Amino acid sequence: MFHSARLKLTAWYLLIVMLISISFSAVVYRSLTDELDRAAKKLPLAALPGTQVTTPQQRIDPDLATETKSLILFNLFTVNLLIFGSAGGIGYFLAGRTLKPIKEMMDKQNRFIADASHEFRTPLTAMKTSTEVGLRDPNINLDEAKDLLRENLKDIDTLQLLSTSLLRLAQFEKSPTQLNLEPVSLSEAIQLARQRLETSLKEKNITITLKSKDVLFDADKDGIVELFVILFDNSIKYSQKKSAITVFFGKSESFIVIEVKDQGIGIDARDLPHIFDRFYRSDKSRTKWPSPGYGLGLSIARKIVESHRGSIAVKSVPGKGSTFIIRLPIGISGYT
């Protein structure tokens, strides 16, 4: 499909170049041949003093004029062939560059659809199988039916979590002008995120500590709170009990820098380039910390940061924890 579209775009580009080149060549040929025709006409020479010219003289031999016209036509034909050949190659190259972002977007979309379909298919298949088995069992009792419903309810919760994550991801893919910008206090955003994760924090006895003074900046408050929820939740999942999450702020004239540091298991070097990809999860065989989820959290975090015209990166040492580094613009000017 991409190759076909590239060829069609090249053909249109070549057609335009051909029309321009042929039109220009026709004008050049017409102008030159008209000059030759005028010069080849029989024109009287100026008479010298005391003499009289009675016979018109030719300035250019007609055969030479005809030969010159043929040579001009041949040269123009050769030049046009060179132009068409060069235009075809250049057009094919430019068509590829023009269509490359579209191809990448379509490839990402296709991968996203395939991954999402796979993730939806797993719980749906489990629900369908268990329900069919239950319906075919003539001796199923009330307790067994309730157990079946409980298992199906878990799968429904799983599907609900996935659909919610996908909706959040789509929400934060909006352009920055669609964000609800307002002055946001980072310490307040952290506190709100901490409240949403209070149960998880208590279960593992993990503390969140702010090591810097508060910073006020323009942002989408809900998005920033969601960002901290994702980062904190990720740190909680992969940290030992009774560990700590530390948040640092830094500020320049136009940017703030936020560091979220945990004492977790860290991230393997081979996984670092992919952790912000949709549906990416590290190989469970390389970790004793299998965690529920769909690999969408950090992808959503990146979209939140990018929607604010910022950047996010991670540094990690396996066994010693990870540090997420976020750069966000301070003022409204960062969004225009």
Do the domain assignments include residue 52?
A: no
**pTM for the whole structure:** 0.59
154 located within any domain: no
| pLDDT score, position 190 | 92
* 112/205 same-domain check: no
Flag residues of the chain having pLDDT under 70.
1-3, 5, 39-63, 99, 104-105, 108-109, 111-112, 114-116, 118-119, 171-178, 280-295, 331-336
- End position of a domain, from candidates 104, 136, 168: 136
What is the predicted pLDDT for the residue at 60? 60
How far is residue 191's CA from residue 304's CA, in Å, rounded to a whole number? Answer: 18
Reduced to 3 states (helix: H, G, I; strand: E, B; else coil), residue 213 is coil
243/308 same-domain check = yes
Res 52: pLDDT: 52
**Claim to verify: residue 116 and residue 263 sit in the same structural domain:** no
Residue 40 is predicted with a pLDDT of 65
- Alpha helices by DSSP H, listed for 259-335, are 297-307
Q: Beta strand pairing status for 181-185 and 216-220?
A: antiparallel
Residues 190 and 280 in one domain: yes
Spatial distance between the Cα atoms of 59 and 48, rounded to a whole number of angstroms: 17
Same domain, 33 and 109: yes
**Residue in the structure block whose two tokens are 């050769």:** 78
Shared-domain flag, residues 119 and 243: no
Q: Tell me, what's the pLDDT at 287?
A: 45
CA–CA distance, 84 with 193 (Å, rounded to integer)? 62
Listing DSSP states for 103-145 in one string gives: HHHHHHHHHHHHHHHHHHHHHHHHHHHHHHHHHH-TT--HHHH
> 239-298 pLDDT, tens per residue?
888 899 999 988 877 889 999 999 888 888 888 888 888 776 664 433 444 455 556 788
234 and 88 in a common domain: no
Asked if residues 258 and 211 have their Cβ atoms less than 8 Å apart, the reply is no
Q: How many domains is the chain partitioned into structurally?
A: 2
Amino acid identity of residue 306, one-letter, is E
Which CATH number does the domain housing residue 197 bear? 3.30.565.10
Q: Which of 253, 286, 272, 279 is nearest to 316 (CA)?
A: 272
Domain that holds residue 103: 1-43+57-136
**What is the full DSSP assignment across 191-245?**
HHHHHHTHHHHHHHT-EEEE-S---EEEEEHHHHHHHHHHHHHHHHHTB-TT-EE
Q: What is the pLDDT of residue 212?
A: 83
